[in-house]
Structure 1
């Protein structure tokens, strides 16, 4: 798979596909297998956004039955089976337990009927090439049996559990990449880091796209890629491209279809269950606890996001509040902030409709409503039919599981619009790029026997990640002992994978390798040495000098640095100067409880205000005020500027160590520092009221100050 934008620009392609997520990858693969000439363009890296930010499930959509979306559920269940057949090395059965706590007959009957319908709709679930991937129908468990399987379910209200089954991906990124590789193998031209900046128009018809080569040195060149038909499969950016097209045609912005962008976060934590997935009904829908690679994934939230899709990220508020939801819904988890090893988020593109969003919450950039009950059905928008603009189709919405069948419909329409004879879709039965393994357990055992030079855990990893193409990796490793070496002692990934990623899989950055080729970075920071080694191997392949290798390593390292940076503002003179003396111990305790913190020390009146304001402007999202009431109120003042919050998402934590500590008593905060830190680790972020007092200062000017619990003047401090 070679990246060649100049060569791509020399041809007129039948199909130009915008978006290298799973939808675009499936469209490109399907079209190429049906004989169309295809160009696939991705603004970042393949599978670099929504596709990789998933719960890693291939599922039938049980909860969609509550919206009576029987057709979507049936399609999802069929596609669940298809993915298991065409990519058996990357898709495995997963057993779920759904705890039952309601004693109402109606609730229990509804759940039982829903699962029965789910089984009926999955009547063909075991028509599989690999019988070991078979899954049984659901069954009901009594309380004792449920607790024997998962003791963490224990609660006074538990009456039993329902057991059902879906599938899980070993690596969504690799599965999507295999679709891209399969498209290229079938003749498609593909390019990552190729951002579409505009459309080529001929007599009011779309005739291609303009593309900026985002991987080239500045000034980055643009290329014109001509196509008889353009497919906009840009996911959360699809409506923005529609708006750009309308602006180019009419001079007016706005898309013919708008998207709801639903933000979903996931947290990777220590193992919480004994190997089963748990589906829990929470306060605003359900959440999952999913076993994955020896860890647990907590997912997911479903809040409407109204900001720039390029700027979406996980906030400290997201993390702390979601942990609180999980701990309330599954008390056996007993999770603390320090248990979060890694976190990620993405935007689900959902077709907008007048009644699709359940309003609630703050109408801010990150939660103007709840998208939980919104349909995941997709829409194929034919611009020529709907608004008279030929040469383009836009795909909106959809879900991971149904991406293949959605692509089939898109290519069916494309063939008709291109005036070509119908060609049957082949992707339902054609294995993905590494999917021709037969029964996976036998393939894995055979691979271990054939490669005695490699430890079994490395062979199993290669079989999982590359399937029938693992020989591409072992061939590199056979001739070079250094390429057989592990990247890091704690991982099975070897250096040959990095070489393959560069030579055959279009990896251009260290992040591409860590997150979307090897998975080294998907379970948390792999360590500085592993990142340095990846940069070293890539640098040898791509001709990077020492400065570029270091820069690439720094960028990858920064990926693991929390956006939710925490600053502790410490008044060392509080608590009769004991705070300063005890700070090293306090810092260590806070770091164990909530993660790493940076510290800044006050050195006079209003210093805490200045430090807090500076921190919020620099992107810190949590500030811990450590001192007495005066310090706390000064920090509160630093949260505001020109009468408004500097960052509405920022959170305040308080560790009171002053002499008066009225704030502590007002809010029921424990007295001991140790108990306060424990509460900080386990608490949920909640709003508090803040007052503002306006007064005339000594110079005769009017000023305002904010206060959290008390405002006073005169001799109150000494009274």
Structure 2
């Protein structure tokens, strides 16, 4: 039986080493997690390795929107918009606890990217292509109505606005919930496990990998009939294990977001707006904070050591002051920030904003499948296409039988709450139930929104007698370790809770106690604890300080 407990890594390694899998996925972002879930639910045996933590790359550092691709209408990518819009609704219904519909304001000014006519037609076309349900279709606003909707928007040369629905998500939690669903279906997943070499048969075809436990340095073999490279920004690095990548290759685009407390930037309405250089960025309220982004610049360097430059902050601050002139924020008001990269398939002569976000798959001579490009919203459909190809090969080459794709109507982990229409009722009910475990109703409601139908499992940890952490923090931490493969403190603060970005005060308040609890739980030496403390401080500095 596969497990999602960080305390049972050795058992996971034994499963990886002692089986021959139908499919082995390299990469634990949303693409890899989606592939694992799709393959497992078709009846295939599946393994996945991730050299860092799940969602440690692009999948925890996006704009945190499962969006329908309105921006792609400008590039006339009609098919893209239609598919993304439909997938957005599927992602929401299968995991409503990690995806939330939000009304987005698109103000238009004289000389801006969108005018009254283009906004109206564009949003109407978007609704049609994306199959938006009636209750979420766009509507238009006059200048006065736009100001009433969001008083902070600049009024100079304001002509009006359009309002449409986007879907806000917690990208890292979406990824971990998909990964947990794959494990529940029998897939074997392991973080901090790196593919370092390929295994070949006599015909020089790839039949597995040499994997390394990043925590101990121990190496072992994982055998598989098909290997998929879904390493996101690192797909070319994985390809390079075999040979220097030729032909298609990735180009990385850096995106930065900055976060303010709502007392400093009291945005009441999500806004998609023009920048001075005619790009468009988002400003989004979330849990008492407002975050703004993103930049879009070519990036070369180590994605794991990516810092936020002062120029990145300046660009976003200029955009804020341009569209929200009464918001007098300065760098001193920035609470936290994050930087990530978009892995784009290179197109000669185009700048980052112009390069298509479409996904592509190709197979090397030795049989390595590589999937690159794509968007968070389309992860499920992308996995379906890849697995359709691979299952056909497995059937013809190995006589491996598999079923059809069933993920369209499959709830991810935590998503079994009775449908999206039942979410608010579910949250209120769990809030009341939480009080029996020593939690407040507010904490219980937060857990229900954060963990969905897994919330009752989290509640139980609040009953444990301990003095180091508040009940709610301890419950989240231990659930993360035993059910979500939390290995490092950074896993917990960044990708399981999001506190590094949206509640930095909580990180500062509880970091020492979290380190102590984890050290006791895992049996760390003093040297190991000091190393993890150093890594955590480095991430705090990276989130709060510009270079």
SS of the counterpart of 2:539? helix
Q: Does 1:68 align with 2:76?
A: yes
* Structure 1 or 2: more helix by fraction: 2
Q: Residue 510 of structure 2 aligns with which residue?
A: 530
Q: Residue 175 of structure 1 aligns with which residue?
A: 174
- Cα displacement string for residues 41-89 of structure 1 (whole angstroms, at most 9, x for unaligned residues): 0010001110000111011010101111111111110111011101111
Q: Specify which of 320, 324, 334 is matched with residue 330 of structure 1.
A: 324
Check 1:483–1:205 CA distance in 2 against 1; reply closer, same or farther (3 A cut): farther
Summarize the alignment of residues 294-333 of structure 1 with structure 2, pairs less than 5 Å apart.
294-333=288-327
8 Å CA contact 2:198–2:207 kept in 1: the answer is: yes
Check 1:529–1:333 CA distance in 2 against 1; reply closer, same or farther (3 A cut): closer
SS of the counterpart of 1:153? coil
Q: Does 1:7 align with 2:15?
A: yes
8 Å CA contact 2:113–2:274 kept in 1: the answer is: no
Whole-angstrom CA distance in 2 between matches of 1:109 and 1:285: 19
Corresponding residue pairs, total? 525
- Cα displacement string for residues 112-164 of structure 1 (whole angstroms, at most 9, x for unaligned residues): 211110011132x33xxxxxxx8421111111111112111132211211111
Shift in Å at residue 504 of structure 1? 2.1
Shift in Å at residue 471 of structure 1? 1.6
Q: Residue 52 of structure 2 aligns with which residue?
A: 44
Q: Residue 356 of structure 2 aligns with which residue?
A: 375
Whole-angstrom CA distance in 2 between matches of 1:196 and 1:533: 33
Q: Residue 452 of structure 1 aligns with which residue?
A: 435
SS of the counterpart of 1:348? strand
Q: Residue 258 of structure 2 aligns with which residue?
A: 267
Whole-angstrom CA distance in 1 between matches of 2:231 and 2:533: 29
Shift in Å at residue 521 of structure 1? 2.1
Check 1:484–1:70 CA distance in 2 against 1; reply closer, same or farther (3 A cut): farther
Whole-angstrom CA distance in 2 between matches of 1:519 and 1:354: 36
Q: Residue 137 of structure 1 aligns with which residue?
A: 137
Check 1:36–1:97 CA distance in 2 against 1; reply closer, same or farther (3 A cut): same
8 Å CA contact 1:182–1:433 kept in 2: the answer is: yes
Shift in Å at residue 306 of structure 1? 2.4
8 Å CA contact 1:416–1:422 kept in 2: the answer is: no
Summarize the alignment of residues 526-565 of structure 1 with structure 2, pairs less than 5 Å apart.
526-562=506-542
What's the TM-score once normalised by structure 2's chain length? 0.91
- Highest Rg: 1 or 2? 1
Q: Does 1:440 align with 2:423?
A: yes
What's the TM-score once normalised by structure 1's chain length? 0.70
SS of the counterpart of 1:209? strand
Shift in Å at residue 565 of structure 1? 6.2
Summarize the alignment of residues 111-122 of structure 1 with structure 2, pairs less than 5 Å apart.
111-122=119-130
Q: Residue 219 of structure 2 aligns with which residue?
A: 222
Q: Does 1:466 align with 2:445?
A: no
Decide which moves more: 371-380 or 264-273.
264-273
Whole-angstrom CA distance in 1 between matches of 2:111 and 2:527: 64
8 Å CA contact 1:477–1:484 kept in 2: the answer is: no
Shift in Å at residue 519 of structure 1? 2.6
Shift in Å at residue 462 of structure 1? 1.0
8 Å CA contact 1:242–1:256 kept in 2: the answer is: no
Q: Does 1:495 align with 2:474?
A: yes
- Cα displacement string for residues 537-585 of structure 1 (whole angstroms, at most 9, x for unaligned residues): 212211124553344233212211148968xxxxxxxxxxxxxxxxxxx
- Cα displacement string for residues 682-717 of structure 1 (whole angstroms, at most 9, x for unaligned residues): xxxxxxxxxxxxxxxxxxxxxxxxxxxxxxxxxxxx
Whole-angstrom CA distance in 2 between matches of 1:34 and 1:522: 36
Summarize the alignment of residues 192-591 of structure 1 with structure 2, pairs less than 5 Å apart.
192-202=191-201, 203-216=203-216, 220-245=217-242, 247=243, 253-271=244-262, 272-282=265-275, 283-355=277-349, 357-358=350-351, 371-383=352-364, 388-390=365-367, 392-419=368-395, 420-421=400-401, 423-438=403-418, 439-453=422-436, 454-478=439-463, 480-482=464-466, 486=470, 493-523=472-502, 524-562=504-542
Shift in Å at residue 422 of structure 1? 5.4
Q: Specify which of 18, 21, 27 is matched with residue 19 of structure 1.
A: 27
Whole-angstrom CA distance in 1 between matches of 2:36 and 2:268: 36
SS of the counterpart of 1:57? coil
Shift in Å at residue 451 of structure 1? 2.7
SS of the counterpart of 1:333? coil
8 Å CA contact 1:17–1:41 kept in 2: the answer is: yes
Check 1:155–1:210 CA distance in 2 against 1; reply closer, same or farther (3 A cut): same
Q: Residue 676 of structure 1 aligns with which residue?
A: none
Whole-angstrom CA distance in 2 between matches of 1:50 and 1:552: 22
Q: Residue 683 of structure 1 aligns with which residue?
A: none
- Cα displacement string for residues 261-319 of structure 1 (whole angstroms, at most 9, x for unaligned residues): 11111111132354211111111410110111111111101111122333322112211
Check 1:88–1:235 CA distance in 2 against 1; reply closer, same or farther (3 A cut): same
Summarize the alignment of residues 577-656 of structure 1 with structure 2, pairs less than 5 Å apart.
621=547
- Cα displacement string for residues 197-252 of structure 1 (whole angstroms, at most 9, x for unaligned residues): 12112222111111111011xxx11111111000100001112222332x2xxxxx
Q: Residue 692 of structure 1 aligns with which residue?
A: none
Whole-angstrom CA distance in 1 between matches of 2:467 and 2:387: 41
Shift in Å at residue 326 of structure 1? 2.6
- Cα displacement string for residues 485-511 of structure 1 (whole angstroms, at most 9, x for unaligned residues): 626xxxxx4202211211222111111
- Cα displacement string for residues 653-708 of structure 1 (whole angstroms, at most 9, x for unaligned residues): xxxxxxxxxxxxxxxxxxxxxxxxxxxxxxxxxxxxxxxxxxxxxxxxxxxxxxxx
Whole-angstrom CA distance in 1 between matches of 2:305 and 2:479: 31
Check 1:486–1:279 CA distance in 2 against 1; reply closer, same or farther (3 A cut): same
Instruction: With a CA cutoff of 8 Å and minimum separation of 6, indicate the structure with the bigger relative contact order.
Output: 2
8 Å CA contact 1:315–1:563 kept in 2: the answer is: no
